[in-house]
Amino acid sequence: MNFLTPLFLLGGLAIAGPILYHLVRRTTRDKTVFSSLMFLLPSPPRLSKRHRLEHILLLLLRCAALALLALGFARPFLKQAPIIDPTAAQPKRIVVLVDTSASMRRDGVWAAARARAEEVLRRAGPADHVALYPFDRQATALVSFEDWNRTAPADRVAFAVGRLGALTPTWAGTHLGNALVTAAEALAENEDGKTAPGPRQIVLVSDLQAGSRLDALQAYEWPKGVELIVEAIKARNVTNAGVQFVADGPESTRAADAPVRVRVTNSPESKREQFKLGWTAATGAPATAANPSPTGEFLSAPIDAYVPPGQSRVFSVPVPKGMAGLEQISLRGDDEDFDNTAYVIPPAQQRATVLWIGRDVAEDVKQPLFFLRRAFAETPRVAVRIVASAPAAPLLPSDVQAASAIFVVDAVSTETATALREQALAGKTVVIAPKSVAFGPTLGALLGRPELTLTEGRTSNYAMLAEIDFQHPLFAPFADPRFSDFTKIHFWKFRKLDASGIIGARVVAKFDSGDPAIVEVPTGKGRIYVLTSGWQPEESQLAVSSKFVPLMWSLLEQAGGVASFATQYAVGDKVPLPADGTATTVRPPTGAAVALAAKAGEFAPTGQPGIYQLEGGAKPLRFAVNLDANESRTAPLATDELEQLGVPVARLKADAAVPAENKTLLQGLEAENRQKLWRWFVAATLAVLLIESALAGWTARRPALETQEVTP
C-alpha cells in the first residue's frame, strides 16, 4: 500500500494519548454531595500500577480509531498497473475553435489566444485527429481532419501551428453558436461514415465575450458524446467602451447637417466612465476635401460622453458648421480602440427627372399627370423633377438625357416614337400608358412592331388585376401577403393588347379577363413598360389606391432613377447591389478596388469597417460598414449560459497542468482518485468510534449501578 500524503501518518503518534490516559487512573467527573468537607483532605489522583492498563478493549478501540484516521488522511492507494481507460487508448477527435472576431484585437488577447491554441495543438496525442477552425461570424476549417490525416504524423502539429500563425483577427462579430454547431457537426460526421469510438472534444479558444451570439444553439440538439473544453482568454484591460451609429429609419427626414445620434456602451467591468466623442478624419488616408485632417484628431470640439460602467447612452453629435459630409465619429478615452469608430454616410438627397409626354394640363384632377406629380412628391431623400412635354413638341435632348424614365400617354409622331425607342435601346425606361386606342401606331413604332393594334377592352362592370407576377421587381415590394391584395382596385377601361406577338414581352400583371394589364418589353439595354389602363379616375381606381405610390416608385427605381440603397452594414454583411446592375467595382476603405462579377446580386467581402464606394453607375454609391455592435460587449460570458443551452462544458483535466517529471505522483493521484480507499478508512474509524462510545458508556454506567445496588 502506498500513501499520497504520508506525512499524515505521523498523526498515528496520537495513539500515545489514549495509552497515557489509560495509565492514569480516571479522575472521576462524578460529583458526590457531602454535608461538610471540614474533616476531609484532598486525595491526589493515583497512577495505576505500571504495565497495568485499565480497560484494555477500550484502549485498543481508541488506538484503532486514531490509527485508522491517520491512515485515511494519508490517502492510501494500492499500486497496480494503471487501469486501461477504454477511452484513453482510442484516438480523440478534437476540433480547435479559435475566435478571430474583432474583440480579439484587444491588447494582448490575440497573442494569448494563439499561444493557447498552439498549446492545445501540441497537447494532441499522435493518434488524435485534430481540426482547426477559426471563427467569427462563420467557422471555416483552417486545418480540416482530412488535412490533418494527410500530413505525416510528425509534421501535423507544426503544420497546424504554421497555419495558425498566419491567422489574424478579423473585424467581424462573434457568432459563437454558429461556430459550435459547425464544430459539432464536423465531429459528428466521420470520414468512413461510422461514428468514431474515441472521445470527441471541441476546444474553444476565445475571449468568451458577452456579445457572443448563441442563438444558433437554441434550436440545435447537441450531439451526445461531444464535450466542450473552454480555454478562455482574459483581456489585460477590462475597460472597453464602444460607439455605434444609431441608424435612421427609412422615413427619416434627417437633413445633411443635422446632429448624428450615436450610442456609446461601456462594459460592466470598466474602470472609466468619462469619454470624448467627436468627428474625426480617417487616419492614413490622403487629405481631401472630405478628409481634411488625416491625423485622427477631432475635427471640431468633442462632446463629453459620460457613460457609467455597464450602461449605454445615446449622444447627439452635432455636425460642425460648414463641415457637412463628415463620415467618421470617434470615441477617445477608452483602453481598447478596436470599436471606437463609427462610420456614417451623411444623408444626401437623390435627384431624378421624369419626362412626361402627353397633353395633360398639369392641374387637371382628371388627368394622370396630376396624380403622378403627387406620387413623386419631394422627400428629404429624393426629389423628382417631372418635365412635361406636349406630344407635338420636339424632344429636347437635354430633357431626354436627364430623364430616368419617360412616360408617354398620348400618341406622338413616328419620329418622336422612333427617337424614344432609341432611348430605350440605349438604356432608358419608357412607360406607356395609352389613353385611347388611337395610341396604337405609336405603340407599334415604340415597340418596333408597326402591325400592333390596340382595341378597347370590354368589361361587364369592371376589371381587376388577377394574375400578378410578384417575382417581378416591379411588384416585389407587394409580395408579402399583407400587401398583395389588388382586388380592391377596379378598372373601368383598358386597352386590349396582344402581348404574344411581342418578342421578349413579359406580362407582369393580367386582368381577370386574361388580357395583359402591365407588360414589360426589354428593349436593347432599356425596357418599355406598357400599362393597358391608366390610373386616372376615368379609367381606374389605381391612382386613389394605396398601391399607386409604391408602384410608381418601384417603376422609377427600376428605371434607375432612384436607388433604394441602404447605407449601413455590419462587417461581414452581404451588401445587395442595385438592381440595375450598373455597379462594376467596389472601392473598400483601404486597398485596391474590387471588380464585381457580372450580374452579381450582392457584394460579400465587407471585411473591414469603413466607407465603401460602389462605382460604375451613373453616380457612385457609398455605404458604411461598421463593427457589429455586440463586439463592444466585452464582459466575460459565463459558461453556465452555454450549459443552459445544452452544451456540456468540461473542466480541463488536472494532468494538463502537471509537468512530466511528476508523473509518478500523477499516477498515484489517479490511482488514489479511482480507488478512494480513504473513504473506507474513515468509515471504519466511525464504526470503531461507535463501538467505543457504546462500550465506554456501558463501562461508565456499570460502577454506578453497582454502587446503587450496594446502597441499602
Partner 1 sequence: MSATSNPALASAKLIDPKALMSIRSLELRARAVVEGFWSGMHRSPYHGFSVEFTEYRQYTPGDDPRYLDWKVFARSDRYVIKKYEDETNLRVHLLADLSRSMDYGSVGFTKATYAATLAATLAYFIHLQGDAIGLLTFDEKVREYLPARHRVGHLRQIMLALEKPAAGRGTDLVAPLERITSLIRKRGLVALISDFLAPLDRLERNLLALAAGGQELTVFHIVDPAELNLGIEVPAMFEDVESARTLYIDPAAAREAYSRKFAAHTEALRAICRKLGVSYQQLSTAEPLEIALFEFLQQRMRRGRLFRRTGSMGTGGRS
Toward partner 1, which CB reaches closer, 598 or 710?
Answer: 710
d(CA 240, CA 340): 9
Closest separation between CB of residue 702 and partner 1, Å? 12
Give the span between the Cα atoms of 269 and 237, in whole angstroms: 9
3-class secondary structure, 605: coil
Cβ proximity to partner 1, 40 vs 84, nearer residue: 40
Q: How many Cβ atoms sit within 10 Å of the Cβ of residue 1?
A: 9
User: For residue 387, what are the β-bridge partners?
Assistant: 355
Question: Could you tell me if 543 and 374 are in contact, meaning their C-beta atoms sit under 8 angstroms apart?
Answer: no
Say how far apart CA 273 and CA 308 lie, in whole Å: 5
Residue 103's closest CA among 180, 208, 232? Answer: 208
Phi, psi at residue 233, to the nearest 5°? -100, 130
Q: Which residue, 218 or 711, has its beta carbon nearer to partner 1?
A: 711
CB of 699 to partner 1, least distance (A): 14
Closest separation between CB of residue 61 and partner 1, Å?
A: 24
Nearer to partner 1, 33 or 219 (CB): 33
Minimum CB separation of residue 21 from partner 1 in Å reads: 17
Nearer to partner 1, 34 or 640 (CB): 34
Specify the residue, 23 or 188, whose C-beta has the smaller distance to partner 1. Answer: 23
State which residue, 460 or 708, has the beta carbon closest to partner 1: 708
- Minimum CB separation from partner 1 for residue 28, in Å? 5
Nearest distance from C-beta of residue 68 to partner 1, angstroms: 33
- Name which of 504 and 712 has its Cβ closer to partner 1: 712
**Shortest Å distance, C-beta 48 to partner 1:** 13
User: Which run of H or E residues covers position 133?
Assistant: strand 129-135
How many angstroms separate the Cα of 160 from the Cα of each of 151, 157, 194, 233, 508?
10, 5, 25, 20, 56
Sheet-wide strand order for 312-317: 241-245, 260-266, 312-317
Under 8 Å between Cβ of 187 and 151: no
Q: Work out how close the CB of 50 gets to partner 1 at its nearest, in angstroms, rounded to a whole number.
A: 19
Nearer to partner 1, 39 or 250 (CB): 39
Q: Report the nearest approach of partner 1 to the CB of residue 705 (Å).
A: 12
CB of 696 to partner 1, least distance (A): 17
Please tell me the total number of residues recorded for the chain in this structure. 712
Residue corresponding to grid cell 388611337: 438
Give the nearer residue to partner 1 in terms of CB position, either 6 or 703.
703
Q: Measured from the CB of residue 16, what is the shortest distance to partner 1 in angstroms?
A: 25
Nearest distance in Å: CB 706, partner 1: 9
Residue 128, C-beta contacts closer than 8 angstroms, at least 6 positions apart: 91, 92, 93, 94, 198
Q: What is the 3-state secondary structure (H, E, C) of 141-210?
A: CCECHHHHHHCCHHHHHHHHHHHHHCCCCCCCCCCHHHHHHHHHHHHHCCCCCCCCCCCEEEEEEECCEC
Which residue number, 324 or 696, has a Cβ lying nearer to partner 1?
696
If the CB atoms of residues 39 and 289 are measured against partner 1, the closer one turns out to be 39
Q: Which residues bind partner 1 (CB under 8 A)?
A: 27-43, 45-46, 703, 707, 710-711
Residues 23-54 as b or e (16 or more Cβ within 10 Å = b): beeeeeeeeeeeeeeeeeeeeeeeeeeeeebe
- The three-point CA angle 617-619-624 to 5° equals 95
Query: Which grid coordinates belong to 409?
Result: 400617354
Closest to 634 measured CA to CA, from 309, 330, 344, 169: 309
HSE-CB of 521 using CA atoms within 13 angstroms: 26
CA gap 431, 372 in Å, rounded: 12
Nearest to partner 1 of 7, 34 (CB atom): 34
Q: How far is the CB of 49 from partner 1 (least distance, A)?
A: 15
